[in-house]
Amino acid sequence: MISGRVYLPCKMLFLITIHLWSMPASEIIHEKDNSLMVLVPNGKFMMGSTKDIADPDETPIHIIKLDAFYIDKFEVTNVQYALFLSETRHATPRFWNDPDLNRPDQPVVGVSFEGASRYANWAGKRLPTEAEWEFSARGTNENQYPWGNQFEAEISGRVNHANVAGDTDGFDKTAPVGSFPTGISQFGVHDLAGNALEWVSDWYDENYYANSPVENPENKNPSNFLGRVLRGGSWRKPPLKVRSTMRYTLLPNLSDNTIGFRCAITASQQASHDNLPWDLNKDRIVDILDLVIVAIYFEMVNAPNGDVNKDGVVDILDLVAVANHFGDRID
């Protein structure tokens, strides 16, 4: 006889499984801050721009090779930053109470580099490097904008693909993240042009490109200016200033109502070969069989398996944890 206690988790299992099968394999949900993250595969591209349209610090063009990494699909939002604040008691950023900027789904702004770094550490992630950010935006096509080389290119009947200066995009200041679906990059990352400038991990050096390493570059040496790099332009910048190769800089302790961030994590860190606790049957992949194990032991106290978070009972938290890591594997 099948009890009602088993029926409920099986129903949830079915719904979650259908949802997971509909999600691209290249996306994950990061547990700590519930962020969607997009896989950017390992690859190479030509970083920088040509002198006829570029600022001097965007040159010379140089080849870059990157290992695979995940990057937040959207900029970090106010609701995500509020969770960080509640758990850490970190100081609230500037403009936190500005009604034009504090909707839950708007990108958090007024965050210094230090604040962005602390959030990333809290979430178990990091800020992307400048090279990772540019590859996420330009892809293998090396576009000037995430969607192509023309700012007002018509895509699916739309010509507004980013929140920039002016009133043609419908937003006076920051827009809710994901408001411009035609502005996504080749890898499916949103809002990489306009909306909010984004901190990256590198120190700024206007001549860094001339001496940049080829593989996984990151400028860890402060220049005389002591500024960090920002990317992507903002809602106050015109189209030419939100190109994917544009570089900005600011002292790391400063902030502005145009500045936010997103996070990244190295792909090999996300699915560690030494730690895959969601693989309950130890077959080296998190799949439907692991979800079935959670369903079998659902609501059992001190169960022999299925208690992923080790809180003494198999419950919805364990089911969600396994679902969030569906597809992780040890190669």
Question: Mind listing the pLDDT tens digit for each residue in 285-300?
Answer: 888 999 999 999 999 8
Q: What's the mean pLDDT when you consider all of the chain?
A: 88
Pair of tokens at residue 199: 């901190």
In the chain, what are the domain boundaries? Answer: 4-26+277-324, 35-269
Distance separating alpha carbons of residues 203 and 221, to the nearest angstrom: 6
pLDDT at 288: 92
Pick the range with the lowest mean pLDDT from 87-96, 228-237, 269-278.
269-278
The CATH architecture of the domain made up of 35-269 is: Alpha-Beta Complex (3.90)
CA distance readout (Å), 178 to 54, 119, 123, 198: 28, 21, 21, 15
The domain defined by 4-26+277-324 carries CATH number 1.10.1330? yes
Using one digit for the tens of pLDDT, what is the confidence trace for 223-257? Answer: 777 899 999 999 999 999 999 999 999 999 999 99
Q: Residue 13: pLDDT band by 50, 70, 90 thresholds?
A: low
Q: What average pLDDT does this structure show over 120-124?
A: 94
Q: What is the mean pLDDT of residues 182-205?
A: 97
Question: Mean pLDDT throughout 323-329?
Answer: 83
Question: Residue 181's CB: how many other CB atoms inside 10 A?
Answer: 11
Percentage of residues of the chain with pLDDT beyond 70: 90
What SS3 state is found at 322? helix
Per CATH, 4-26+277-324 and 35-269 having the same topology is answered no
Where b means 16+ CB within 10 Å and e means fewer, 73-100 reads: bbbbbbebbebbbeeeeeeebbbbeeee
Q: With DSSP H G I counted as helix, E B as strand and the rest as coil, what are the percentages for the chain, rounded to 5?
A: 25, 15, 55
Fill in the DSSP letter of residue 320: H
Long-range pairs, 47-54, Cβ under 8 A, ≥24: 47/131, 47/134, 47/135, 47/209, 47/212, 47/245, 48/209, 48/245, 49/144, 49/243, 49/245, 53/144, 53/243, 54/245
* Separation between Cα atoms, residue 119 and residue 130, nearest integer Å: 18
Which residue is associated with the tokens 């901190």?
199
Burial of 149 per CB tally in 10 Å (0-12, 13-18, 19+): exposed
